[in-house]
Amino acid sequence: MVKKFKSLPTNYKSALIIFVVVVMWIASGFLKSNDKEVSIESIDSEQIVSVRATNISAENKIYFLTIRGRTEADSKVILRPKTTSTILETLDKGQNVKKGDVICKLDPEDRVARLDEAIANEKQAQLKFDATVALAKEGYRSENAVASAEAILKGAVARREIAENAVNNTMLKAPFDGFVEDINVKVGDLISPSQMCGSIIQLDPMIVSGEVTEKNIVQMIPDQKVSIELLDGKKIDGQISYISKSSNSATRTYKIEATFDNKNGLIREGITATIKVPLQEVKAQLIPSYLLSLNDAGDLGVKIVEDNIAKFLKIQIIEDTADGIWVIGLPEQTILITVGQEYVIDGQKINTQIDQG
């Protein structure tokens, strides 16, 4: 073998020597890197992470079911006339009105004259009937005469009532205390029973309507007291006033309504609101939302300390507040990791510094 090597040309010998040196250099570097990795892994496996934690205690907390919805007027009425005539007067839209206020006034035309005539005929028929009854008591009139006079009187009364209705139909009045949402006609317009004069909404009481799942609908109780929170943070007391018996076929949810007082009429229709229905009292803890994490299975939870071992515990959020989130699923007395939780895993040994206070 040595003789063959010596017999090779000089350039071949040089190339072969360089190749052998390069291979040995690469091999030596690989072995050193493996040694370093082994040493680093051994160091990491022996290193214990330090964390900070705090003691938290469970408190009695009412568990609320939160239902998102919108405010709605309790009643909304579209005013249409029962007769055809010309508009004489209208209120301006945007006004608060009382029950019985005239919203649109139509030209009565000859309806008042017909009413006057009907009233006069009724008085005449009443006098004739009274006289006939008096004479019948003396034996000067028969029972048929009394019955005839009574029929004439009843006919006169009916015609007077019809004439009164005709006059009243020229004044479209508010059926309740409310707010004039719109006026659809102007003075001088000819209006008929098929046309709208205007619309009125009732702002007191108001309702908030929302949708509830089939799982939670069984927990709803008629007239149950609830808390209603508006988008601006204002809280109002209310009560459940309606629970649907049939579900929405598209969403499989049930409609509920909560009623609340709105005496000053300041709360408008269509505002986003939240209904909070108290369901049960539970033991819960208030924690900062930034401490929430997920395990490999995608479960929501937090990391706690037990005997200097980090543990992941699943939790359930029952309320989200400005001060933090209320959760259930933790022991009544818990050491919650507050700093360093992102560097530890379930079952890892740790050094724990407990924050006081």
Q: What is the pLDDT along the chain (357 residues), one digit of tens a residue?
A: 444 444 545 444 445 555 654 555 565 554 444 444 434 344 344 578 889 999 999 988 888 888 999 999 989 999 999 999 999 999 999 999 999 999 999 999 999 999 999 999 999 999 999 999 999 998 888 999 999 999 999 999 999 999 999 999 999 999 999 999 999 999 999 999 989 999 999 999 999 999 999 888 988 889 999 999 998 888 999 999 999 999 988 889 999 999 999 988 889 999 999 999 988 788 899 999 889 988 888 899 999 999 889 999 999 888 888 888 989 889 999 999 999 888 888 889 999 888 875
CATH of the domain at 242: 2.40.30.170
Per-residue 3-state assignment (H helix, E strand, C coil) for 286-305: EECHHHCEECCCCCEEEEEE
174 and 205: one domain?
no
Residue 52: closest CA among 263, 261, 304, 223: 304
Do residues 158 and 87 both lie within one domain? yes
Report the 10 Å Cβ neighbour count for 4.
7
Same domain for 273 and 327?
A: no
Q: Kindly report the CATH number assigned to the domain that includes residue 176.
A: 2.40.50.100
Map tokens 């008085």 to a residue. Answer: 123
Same domain, 194 and 268: no
Q: Are residues 92 and 187 in the same domain?
A: yes
* Tally of structural domains, the chain: 4
Structure tokens at 41: 């892994």
DSSP letters, 6-71, are HHS-HHHHHHHHHHHHHHHHHHHHHHHHHHHHHHHHHHHHH--EEEEEEEEE-EEEEEEEEEEEEE
- CB atoms near residue 6 (< 10 Å): 8
Q: Which of 252, 279, 306 is the last residue of a domain?
A: 279
135 and 233 together in one domain: no
**DSSP state, residue 320:** E
Domain final residue, candidates 147, 181, 198: 198
